[in-house]
Amino acid sequence: MNFQIAVLLGQDGVTNGAIYALLALSILLVFTVTRILLIPLGEFVTYGALTMAAIQSGEPTALVWLLLALMLIDCALDLRLLVQNGFSAHRARWIGLKLGYAVLMCVLIQTLPLADIPMFAQVLLTLGLLVPLGPIIYRLFFQPIASASSLVLMIVSIAVHVAMVGIGLLLFGPEGARTQPFSDTGFSLGPVMLKSQTLWVILVSVALIVMLFIAFERTLYGKALRATAVNRMGARLMGISPVFAGKATFAMATFIGAMSGILIAPITTLYFDSGFIISLKGFVGAIIGGLVSYPLAAAGAVVVGLIEAFSMFWASSYKEIIVFTLIIPFLLWRSLTSHHVEEDEEE
């Protein structure tokens, strides 16, 4: 172990850690606002990466049909509400808008020369396909049971995860995929080559984290979400819609998940079932933050990345064991130091 190796491993650990940090933040965000442990988050990562790969190889990805199908179910439910509650021009327009969006996406995917458009447009298209899935999934599977106990929510969350893995196999096939890097250049830092993709991952992650921070500190919507996280009932009394809060956090989590997938796809091979392990490591980070503290969760996730990198050098056979054993001392420490407040089991 010399300096050069330490730097290479450190670079690797920070890259993965940055992704885990993003995922840890999304898990935390969704959990605090909706009490849902977002187990399908990893699937958004793989969907993002695999959709990007499909677009780059010029295939009209079948994901667009999933979007269309879910959107149709969503709109059918909306229509039923419209009939039950009486016609409202605002709602009707909203349904039209949603359907129009899904159809537009279908047309774009079928007609654009996908492989030849600039990479930035490919990223936008991938996000455009994936991000709406988040709120729809919330609407279809979680909104009807929003006030159920955390355990029920978690079981539904697992069910959604299993379903999404299966659908992923159907949409993308069993082979792994990787995408072209954002740029090919490397930077030399002393004796060590830094890959530009590594810098991209770190830069985008930091930018996203800063954006999240600003959104939550400065904007009204962000403050509304924070209020919901602090006290759901109180926020509701102040006129903050829990449905809106749920959809907004799911959209954000989907965005972050898909973006993480797009970021790491050029560095590694991702499979339809890779997502779970990745989000599980983000989850370890979130646990280190006690599922409440954002900075602690992010720091914890980076630590997970670093430990993973160094343990695969020292003892590659035991890498996963080392990473996941990490959670035990933290759980012990947290359960000893924090005093339990059961605030949402009163319903």
Partner 1 sequence: MLLKKSLSALLLGSALTATAAQAEVKIGVVTSSTGPIAMVGTSQKNSIPLLPASAGGETIRYISLDDSSDPTESVKAFKKLIDEEHVDAIIGPSGSANAMGVIQFAAESGTPMLAPVGSAAVVLPMTEQKKWVFKTTQNDDLIAKALVDDMAAKGIKTLGLIGTADPYGENWSLVVAKLCAAAGIKLTAVERFQRQDTSITGQSLKVLMANPDAVLIAAPGSSSVLPQTTLKDQGYQGQIYQTHGAALDPFLKLGGKAVEGTILAASLMLVIDEVADSPSKTIAADYMQRYNDKYGENPATFGANVYDAGLLLENAIPAALEKGTPGSAEFRNALRDALEQTNELAATQGVYSMTPEDHSGFDERGREMITVQDGSWKLLK
Q: Residues in the site for partner 1, rule: CB under 8 A?
A: 5, 8-9, 12, 15-16, 166, 169, 173-178, 195, 264, 267-271, 273-274, 277-278, 308-314, 316-317, 319-320
- Residue 131: name the closest of 256, 262, 251 by CA: 251
SS3 assignment, position 78: helix
Q: Tell me the closest approach of the beta carbon of residue 9 to partner 1, in angstroms.
A: 6
Q: What is the DSSP string of 119-141?
A: HHHHHHHHHHHHTTHHHHHIIII
Q: 5 or 81: whose CB is closer to partner 1?
A: 5
Q: Tell me the closest approach of the beta carbon of residue 57 to partner 1, in angstroms.
A: 8
Strands 192-195 and 186-189: antiparallel
344 φ, ψ to 5°? -110, 15
Q: 36 or 49: whose CB is closer to partner 1?
A: 49
Q: 43 or 308: whose CB is closer to partner 1?
A: 308
Q: 84 or 316: whose CB is closer to partner 1?
A: 316
Q: Tell me the closest approach of the beta carbon of residue 329 to partner 1, in angstroms.
A: 23
| Tokens coding 198 | 């590594």
SS3 assignment, position 347: coil
**Strand spans (E) along 169-297:** 186-189, 192-195
Q: 153 or 160: whose CB is closer to partner 1?
A: 160
Q: Tell me the closest approach of the beta carbon of residue 286 to partner 1, in angstroms.
A: 18
C-beta of residue 296 within 8 angstroms of C-beta of residue 290: yes
Q: Tell me the closest approach of the beta carbon of residue 122 to partner 1, in angstroms.
A: 18
Beta bridge partner(s), residue 256: none
Q: 136 or 303: whose CB is closer to partner 1?
A: 303
Helices 242-264, 196-218: crossing angle, 10 deg rounding? 170
**Strand spans (E) along the chain:** 186-189, 192-195
**Strand spans (E) along 191-293:** 192-195
Q: 128 or 266: whose CB is closer to partner 1?
A: 266
Rg (CA), the chain: 21
C-beta of residue 270 within 8 angstroms of C-beta of residue 177: yes
Q: Tell me the closest approach of the beta carbon of residue 309 to partner 1, in angstroms.
A: 6
Q: Tell me the closest approach of the beta carbon of residue 256 to partner 1, in angstroms.
A: 17
